[in-house]
Amino acid sequence: MKTKLNIYNMQLLLFVFLVWDPARLVLANIQEDEAKNNITIFTRILDRLLDGYDNRLRPGLGDSITEVFTNIYVTSFGPVSDTDMEYTIDVFFRQKWKDERLKFKGPMNILRLNNLMASKIWTPDTFFHNGKKSVAHNMTMPNKLLRIQDDGTLLYTMRYFKAECPMHLEDFPMDAHSCPLKFGSCKYRNEGTCFGSIIQGSQQHSLVVQVFFFSQL
């Protein structure tokens, strides 16, 4: 009986030690303080970036052209309508540019933000020349991602949509058609914004479709 009581007391003491371990409590407090400090630093950086920032003006206005690099990642393709001459495509459309006004210094090199921040800074007014209907994915929130690097480089990702494809059916269903996806700037058509080369380093996939194929952007 005495042996069982001693074992019970030892288990109770071990339980109390694990629950009230001072070192563990100190470590938890340190981690909590670090998290609060990071949030504070993050908030201060964002506040400083937006202080006096005018999102109506493009980067380098009056001095240089704003070069926008683009990349498209196709997640699904179809259906294709030969009667309406259109096709549906689900893509992640990425745009990359540099804004010297958004340089920052801090413990992190990249700020990962949502669509709310995107509405507060300048973003390219890209539109698709042959787009019939652009449907942005909004479940459960708008599918938009914004990343700001410490040197002012931004990566903006959106998810879309439906486009038109002129078709000349001469040997249906053996015809082959090119369905380019054409885009540009709505506001700066002749100067100001230049859509440059494809973003490097992104994962690429080619599409193999029975009747239709894409020409290079």
Portion of the chain with pLDDT greater than 90, in percent: 17
- Among the residues of the chain, which ranges form H helices? 2-19, 22-50, 115-118
Is the same domain home to 98 and 168?
Answer: yes
Evaluated on CA atoms 22, 28, 30, 33, the torsion sign reads negative
In this prediction, residue 22 has a pLDDT band, given cuts at 50, 70 and 90, of low
Is the same domain home to 198 and 162?
Answer: yes
Give the residue numbers spanning the domain of 27: 2-50
Is the same domain home to 141 and 44?
Answer: no
Of 121 and 70, more confident: 121
Residue 1 in this model has a pLDDT that exceeds 60: no
Residues 44-99: tens digit of each pLDDT: 999 999 999 999 988 887 777 888 888 888 777 777 776 777 777 777 888 899 99
Is the same domain home to 43 and 129?
Answer: no
pTM (2 d.p.)? 0.61
Average pLDDT over residues 104-109: 88
Residue 125 in this model has a pLDDT that exceeds 50: yes
Is the same domain home to 35 and 95?
Answer: no
Is the same domain home to 32 and 104?
Answer: no
Q: Is the peptide bond before 173 cis (omega within 30 degrees of 0)?
A: yes
Helices (H) and strands (E) in the chain, counts: 3, 11
Of 155, 147, 134, nearest to 69 by C-alpha is 155
Is the same domain home to 41 and 77?
Answer: no
Is the same domain home to 92 and 15?
Answer: no
Is the same domain home to 140 and 81?
Answer: yes
